Structure 1
């Protein structure tokens, strides 16, 4: 029987999430759940790394317009993501409160993603900016409906402190596969070098195939995730039944009381800064690889795989590090140290101390550093995701409501809008560096490249360091989480006992 919450906040009935006799999660379900992250990984790779590059270097739209159009999508996210999360938390259906959104997101996400890469001919730069804004916004809203609800399932699938980190490790591994393996495959196929385009990422003919492959894979990943986790619906926490429907102000008050949680606010602050840094990195890395290191598509593809290697290293290590150092400490430590290592090649190249373009050691060295840096950052990302799942019980103990949808919708908004901020920052760095739009081969000056590097390094390390310091305010330890879970289970057991007593008293006489 699902949990029943009345207006006063008392809990009656039973919770499938906390009840005994729930079957263990099978490997098939785990893999299906994790593989859904491929969809968001592909969207992230395409929108953060290739969208700015495609429209500025291939179509010829000024980088400032492209980055501003993407950044403005955060206004849409600011409204849509909390509504999706709240709507999901309040939904009751035979498919529970998560799966209707998962299935409903599949086709719209794939369609709008495709649309973003096929702009109409003959539009002005301003009109092109509107097109980018519209298609990117629709794609983001659609993927949010999926991503918020799959992430919100995690605290409902398990209450175990370390098991949540394992689930998020699997999810991040598949997410990296979607981001980097997909990119590597596209670089060696759609963007393969030709005599006319030795750097295949500059070939306009490669982008239609890239877009179509991405759309089809996104559709498949979402459907596999929904179908593969469908068997868990009876064991997921259902939406509350209320004596009377809430009015708008009631919804806003409940959302506000949840989002004022100190643990959530510290994760949110860290997330805004770290995802801004990630968006900045993703939007500029192809510029560095193309113009600073002068790499072709095959070499870029090789370096793309280092992030997948990093995720493969991080997935089993993240639960170990969270158990050894704690989730908060490992998230802070690996973020700052990892990024510092990752910035080393740019710092050395700026000062003329790194391998020159064409040197046989250039790509292997970048690969090794990228794998190490990427693994450390991935450990940080996995553990902060797991920390957010632990906030659900911390909040429920105070409010009497399990609102995973609200928290993960806020996290989705934080991630998407901060990534958009990062892309906007990348556009500003390109403007400040006088980087040309749609340049002819060999016309990008060394001065513009060096200016981009020297603007990028302090901006990146500053965002990560400040974010890590904010995470110092996160208060939930393993012991506190286990105490929260025990208190909630005791509260629900008491509520079930009261309901049984009331049923006996009010039942028919025998």
Structure 2
């Protein structure tokens, strides 16, 4: 059950790999759409996310069915996610630049709403599966490992197959013929991963928390008021602020990495495939280390420390390269050096991500003490929105960096100069540092410690025991207990 639960994260990992690393590259370098149009189209999907994600989370929280609150959404998301993902890579011929931007916006928005229905509900199951402070970190570690496996395992396979080097395209990521197979394989893997998660966790439905029975229909305004009361939680607001900034930085990294590897380091598809393995190494290190670090430093401090240290290490090769003191393209030590740095950087950032996800699970009980409602769907809808920022804001920022550097669309060989790529790096580094540092500082406002979490559990247990006692007191003499 744990494996199938974690394996569901492969679906979101594949979507993230395709949309953050390849979408901007595909439309600008292969199709020839201006970077500003692609970036703006994807950024506009944030408006859709901001509306759809909270509504999906709330809808899930109040759903009652024979399949519980979460599984109807999990099963229902499989086919739409795969279909809309596939359409994003097959724009109709003959579109104007504006129409192409509209196509990107519609297909990206629909893909993200569909995957949100899945991701929100699988994540929301975690606080219902265990209340243990450290076990939650282990579960999220498992999900993050599978998410990384989806992102980087899928990327590695595609680089070695669909984007393999040919005489005409020694850097296979520039080969237009590789993208149809890439899109079809991604769509199929997404639908399989979602179904594995749904079917594998189906037997847990009777043990998951059900929505409370309401005596009368709630007006829409009442739903909004309850959501607002939950989302005003101080701990949630701290995580949300950190999350929007950190996922935007991750999206910026993902959207620009392929440009750096192609034009700065001049790597082939096979070399890129080797480098994607470093993220799997990072996830394998982070999954067991995250609960250890949270026990040692606390979830909040480990999230802050590893985020800032990891990013500082990750930026080192770029800074050294533009100053002429790193391994040059073709040097046999270039790929091993990038691999080592990527594994260390990735592991540290993954530890931060795992622990902040576990912190969000602890917010569910903290909010329930104040409101009397367990609204995991609402909170993890916000988490889904934060992760979608990695695509929207990240691609938008990457597009702006390319525009500022006068980076060409669909360039001819030799058209991309060293000055252009150095300008992109010059804009990228301070932007990344600012996003991560400001985000980490916001976490100082997160108030839930392990002791606070255990006090919340005790208060909720006492409240539920009192409610059961009151219910028994109100049963007529000889009536059945429920």
CA distance in 2, matches of 1:505, 1:405: 39
Q: Is the 8 A contact 1:73 1:417 kept in 2?
A: no
Q: Match of 2:465? A: 493
Which ranges in structure 2 are unaligned for 5 or more consecutive residues?
A: none
Q: Match of 1:426? A: 398
In the TM superposition, residue 494 of structure 1 has moved relative to its aligned partner by 1.1
Cα deviations by residue, 1:131-187 (Å, 9 ceiling, x for unpaired): 000000000000000000000000000000000000000000000000001100100
Cα deviations by residue, 1:195-243 (Å, 9 ceiling, x for unpaired): 0000000000000000000000000000000000001000000001112
Q: Match of 2:379? A: 407
SS in structure 1 at match of 2:78: helix
State TM-score, norm by structure 2. 0.99
Q: Match of 1:176? A: 148
Q: Match of 1:69? A: 41
Q: Is the 8 A contact 2:252 2:390 kept in 1?
A: no
In the TM superposition, residue 490 of structure 1 has moved relative to its aligned partner by 1.0
Q: Match of 1:160? A: 132
Q: Match of 1:202? A: 174
Q: Match of 1:484? A: 456
In the TM superposition, residue 417 of structure 1 has moved relative to its aligned partner by 2.9
SS in structure 2 at match of 1:149: helix
In the TM superposition, residue 498 of structure 1 has moved relative to its aligned partner by 1.1
Cα deviations by residue, 1:30-60 (Å, 9 ceiling, x for unpaired): 0000000000000000000000000000000
Q: Is the 8 A contact 2:365 2:457 kept in 1?
A: yes
Deviates more, 1:245-254 or 1:259-268: 245-254
Q: Match of 1:78? A: 50
CA distance in 1, matches of 2:31, 2:177: 12
CA distance in 1, matches of 2:241, 2:391: 14
**Match for 1:351 among 293, 298, 323?**
323
In the TM superposition, residue 506 of structure 1 has moved relative to its aligned partner by 7.9
CA distance in 1, matches of 2:441, 2:278: 28
In the TM superposition, residue 486 of structure 1 has moved relative to its aligned partner by 1.0
Q: Is the 8 A contact 2:251 2:389 kept in 1?
A: no
Deviates more, 1:181-190 or 1:492-501: 492-501
Deviates more, 1:478-487 or 1:243-252: 243-252
Runs of 4+ in 1 over 6 A off after TM superposition: none
Where do 1:267-306 residues align within 5 Å? 267-306=239-278
**Match for 1:239 among 177, 196, 211?**
211
CA distance in 2, matches of 1:393, 1:54: 43
CA distance in 2, matches of 1:414, 1:278: 11
SS in structure 2 at match of 1:72: helix
CA distance in 2, matches of 1:164, 1:506: 42
Cα deviations by residue, 1:457-506 (Å, 9 ceiling, x for unpaired): 00001100000000000000001001101110111011111111211448
**Match for 1:317 among 289, 293, 297?**
289
Q: Match of 1:457? A: 429
CA distance in 2, matches of 1:111, 1:325: 43
State TM-score, norm by structure 1. 0.93
In the TM superposition, residue 245 of structure 1 has moved relative to its aligned partner by 1.5
CA distance in 2, matches of 1:141, 1:169: 24
Q: Match of 1:439? A: 411
Which ranges in structure 1 are unaligned for 5 or more consecutive residues?
A: 1-28
**Match for 1:257 among 229, 251, 254?**
229
CA distance in 2, matches of 1:504, 1:164: 41
**Match for 1:378 among 350, 360, 373?**
350
CA distance in 2, matches of 1:469, 1:39: 31
Count of residue pairs brought into register by the alignment: 480
Q: Match of 2:101? A: 129
Counterpart check, 1:221 vs 2:190:
no
CA distance in 2, matches of 1:33, 1:483: 28
In the TM superposition, residue 321 of structure 1 has moved relative to its aligned partner by 0.3
CA distance in 2, matches of 1:346, 1:225: 38
Q: Is the 8 A contact 2:20 2:390 kept in 1?
A: no
Q: Is the 8 A contact 1:105 1:145 kept in 2?
A: yes
CA distance in 2, matches of 1:507, 1:451: 77
